Amino acid sequence: MIDFDYTRAKSLDEAASLAADPGAALLAGGTTLIDLAKCGVAKPRTVVDITRLPDLPAIAHNEDGATIGALATMSRVAADAGVQARFPAVSQSLLLAASAQLRNMATIGGNLLQRTRCSYFRDPAGYPACNKRRPGSGCSALENVTRDHAILGTSDQCIALYPGDLAVALTAFDATIRTDRREIPIADFFLEPDGAPERETVLDPGEIVTAVHVPASAAAANSTYLKVRDRASYEFAAASAAVGLELEPDGKTIRDIRVALGGVATRPWRAEAVEAALTGRVLDEASVREASRSAVEGAKSWPGNRYKIELLPRVVARAILKVGGIR
């Protein structure tokens, strides 16, 4: 057990000033933070409880889209009627994540900021070498089992997967992350492990996520989240795809397609090559299967995770065909 001070913040300003201490950690649902403290990765000097901050649990809809407070729980957002109708992939990404108990505790902000499940990262005693945990110490995964590691966005310093589901759906629909200081497009929010694997997002120390804004679109309203994993529940993705699709009035030509990938990359990954190959094309199975192959453009695999090269295009194709009503 580690010793830490506990403080409950009463306002965003108070939380921000407490969180400015480099030894402080914000506590939302606690389902990641406590886990990491137990395995010896997180060692906060002060835990700043933000669960009682006003306004942050709110979910608001208007014409432009939905604004989801950082403290809204995963289960509440998944069950929100507006989210289900306007952003089905967002709701599904949450429902397919973790377990019912975890979803009732865990928050949207905490979900986005969960850390990698790389087993070497989470075992400091067994595997001291980990550039993400101890910069410059090496990467234990590279000489060990890589079954659950990334094939996209890797570097020779770290190949750890970004494990979350929600961020993948948010990436497909160009969400914006709001903090106590600024607005950050989700495409710029997560970092690849190039140079500084210990840094996973552009957030400054102590910066607090306050909300996520998801713009409404026809593609978002006609969307799905497909997650393939080792067992049907309570498991992270081996590969996943969030897909949104809008057709032209002819009912067959693709006007707008959004594809983002999970379970395969060091950050939520937009499959721009797949989108470009299909935009303006007639939606049919052959074109979808061919275009889905570009999901692995630029991928690099290791013996343990080579299966993802085969799996990912199939997941992408299945998701597009499903949302297109073909299968």
Ligand X SMILES: Cc1cc2nc3c(=O)[nH]c(=O)nc-3n(C[C@H](O)[C@H](O)[C@H](O)COP(=O)(O)OP(=O)(O)OC[C@H]3O[C@@H](n4cnc5c(N)ncnc54)[C@H](O)[C@@H]3O)c2cc1C
Q: What is the DSSP string of 153-170?
A: S--SS--PPP--SHHHHH
Which pairing describes strands 5-8 and 46-49: parallel, antiparallel, or unpaired? parallel
> Which residue in 83, 113, 283, 320 binds ligand X (CB under 6 A)?
113
Which parts of 211-270 interact with ligand SF4 (CB under 6 A)? none
Q: Between residues 121 and 173, which has the closer beta carbon with respect to ligand SF4?
A: 121
Which listed option, ligand X, ligand SF4, none, makes contact with residue 121 (CB within 5 to 8 Å by class)? ligand SF4
Check if the beta carbon of residue 298 is closer than 8 Å to that of residue 152: yes
Distance CA(277)–CA(256), nearest Å, equals 11
Q: Which of 164, 244, 263, 324 binds ligand X (CB under 6 A)?
A: 164
CB of 76 to ligand X, least distance (A): 12
Burial class (CB within 10 angstroms; exposed 0-12, middle 13-18, buried 19+) of 68: buried
Task: Indicate whether 170 belongs to the interface with ligand X (CB under 6 A).
Answer: no
**Residues 244-283, interacting with ligand X (CB under 6 A):** none
Interface residue with ligand X, options 16, 66, 70, 245 (CB under 6 A): 70
Quick one: tokens of 238?
A: 């081996």
**Quick one: which of 148, 165, 174, 275 contacts ligand X (CB under 6 A)?**
165
In the complex, minimum distance from the CB of residue 139 to ligand SF4, in angstroms, rounded to a whole number: 3
Residue 234 near residue 289, CB atoms below 8 Å: no
* 158 lies in the site for ligand SF4, by CB under 6 A: yes
Q: Is 107 in the site for ligand X (CB under 6 A)?
A: yes
130 binds, among ligand SF4, ligand X, none (CB under 5 to 8 A by kind): ligand SF4
Q: Under the criterion CB under 6 A, does residue 31 sit at the interface with ligand X?
A: yes
Interaction partner, residue 159 (ligand X, ligand SF4, none; CB < 5-8 Å by kind):
ligand SF4
Q: Do residues 72 and 57 touch, judged by C-beta distance below 8 A?
A: yes
173 touching ligand SF4, by CB under 6 A? no
8 A C-beta contact, residue 297 and residue 255:
no
Q: Which parts of 104-143 interact with ligand SF4 (CB under 6 A)?
A: 116, 118, 120-121, 130-132, 139-141
Q: Which residue has the tokens 């397919």?
A: 96
Q: Is 160 in the site for ligand SF4 (CB under 6 A)?
A: yes
**What residues from 289 to 308 belong to the interface with ligand X (CB under 6 A)?**
none
67: left (phi over 0), alpha (psi -120 to 50) or beta: beta
Phi, psi of 112 (to 5 degrees): -60, -35
Q: Which residues contact 301 (CB under 8 A, 6 or more apart)?
A: 151, 308, 309
Please give the residue ranges that form the binding site for ligand X (CB under 6 A): 25-33, 35, 70, 74, 97-98, 102, 105-107, 109-111, 113-114, 164-166, 208-209, 236
